[in-house]
Amino acid sequence: MLSDQIKIKCSLPHSLYRAQQIKDFEKLAAEQAGTTLYGLMKRAGEACYQVFKSHFPDATSVLVLTGSGNNGGDGYVFAAIAKDAGLHVQLCQMGDASTLVAEAAEARNAWRIEQGVIDSIEQADFEAADVIVDALLGTGLLGTVRAEYQRLIHKINQTNKPVLSVNIPSGLNADTGAIADVAVNADATISFVGLKQGLFTGRSAEYCGKIYFSALGIKKEFTSLCKSTVSRVTYSDVSDALQPRTRTSHKGFFGKTLVVGGNKGMPGAARLASEAALRCGSGLVKVLTLPENLLTILAGRPELMGEGVELDHFDGSAIRDWATVLTIGPGLGLDEWAQTLLDYVLASELPTVIDADALNLLVNKPAWKESWILTPHPGEAATLLGCSISKIEQDRFSAVRNLQRSFGGIVVLKGSGTLICDGKQVYVANVGNPGMASGGMGDVLSGIIAGLLAQGLDSLQASLLGVSIHGLAADAAAKSDERGLLASDLFPYIRKLVNP
């Protein structure tokens, strides 16, 4: 029978942690809860078995692959429980058993006392297993994966057998979600004590499968000792910012959003951003664009307003006197026209969303403002920080914090597991799908955020809710098919989501 302390959650906690935080505080938390690290290991093994039976109910044979860390110990405990339950278990130890940490060595001895056989990795019978349990590397991986582990992970992935990973898929960095060499493709992952932040951004979505969690009965003690500065955010967490409108509302209550962009050949970007602001409920939306783009933008959406900008006759009054919220960047370009309009925007203290080409121009006009929201994708983030895209993706948490320290305000680092940073906390939004890899998606996001700002939400609320609405709308639009998804396909779903 499973311990009363083992509760498996599919509805995951919000707080996320680095691996070192958990290592630093789990022993003390265990002691305060009246147990030991070995006691936690036994609970972890029980939790693994509970997930195993839930996620793979028809499995009768399992191959358990253990390493030399605490993950290996969890694997030994799991193997013993599975064997007692009548499953066919083969356990294979990777590396030298003499290097096992104390608790893992205790779990190994307990397995052997129960007549548990320990095979070498070379003896592993992948074909006979219904499921593979990956208890190899765990959260301690910081650098590259050793060659022998790389070969084993490749073999695991090539078998096409279902995999349950213990704590984290082996090869995935628990702090960043990055992969140095190769990682296990898991069907399910169970995390213990505190959720690891690397499970929710970077390349993690490709490798983790369904994520489960157990606090191992020390939630109260651990959370009182260890404070998180990274949190998951969901639509339901922030949607209460969208209060019902009064029956006497009129368009003057809900702000004036000015979208600046649409250079030669790019009217569509400004159109998408401006319509997104309208669909989110901004009272009025105007586009500043090249004169020749006005007909294209306004003909398809007559509810928009527009102003053609020729530099010789532009005095900035629309930016200075008309708007309550600014958005600049969609289709802006990088020429003199674009730089001049950016100068006008930078001179304003209005709430501003900076996106796309405006971010690239910002490199030559560095500034720091509390009143703006920057929404870079990894390429734009690399330009702003003067580094490579690969460096951004190696540690997205550090990247978004560095951007916020350098430029102020709120920074939204787009990508798989979008990160939002206000300088105090980093929020992770796990919404969206690969169908969003198409032109115009970022323009829609900048318009959504601006439209929410126009209605009185503060910058953090607008960013968190905007990212959530954007991703959920895309998920709804791509329910049947992802490939071929267009940015404009999101609009019907955006309207539903801003009316919770």
Q: For the chain of 500 residues, list the mean pLDDT of each consecutive stretch of 10.
A: 53 94 96 96 96 96 91 94 96 83 90 88 96 91 86 95 96 93 96 96 94 96 96 96 91 94 96 98 97 94 95 91 97 97 96 97 92 97 97 97 98 97 97 95 98 97 98 95 96 96
Confidence (pLDDT) at 428: 98
Hey, how many other C-beta atoms are within 10 angstroms of the C-beta on 399?
Answer: 26
H or E stretch covering 317: helix 317-317
Residue 426 neighbours by CB under 8 Å, 6+ apart: 229, 230, 231, 397, 400, 401, 419, 420
Domain ranges for the chain, please list them. Answer: 15-228, 235-497
Between CA 446 and CA 328 the distance in angstroms is 9
**The model's pTM:** 0.94
Residue 479 burial by Cβ neighbours in a 10 Å radius (0-12, 13-18, 19+): exposed
Architecture of domain 235-497: 3-Layer(aba) Sandwich (3.40)
Rg of the Cα atoms in the chain: 26
Tell how strand 163-166 and strand 188-192 pair up.
parallel
Confidence (pLDDT) at 95: 79
SS3 at position 214: strand
Confidence (pLDDT) at 10: 56
* Homologous superfamily, domain 15-228: YjeF N-terminal domain (3.40.50.10260)
Confidence (pLDDT) at 8: 57
In this structure, are residues 398 and 405 in contact, taking their beta carbons and an 8 Å threshold?
no
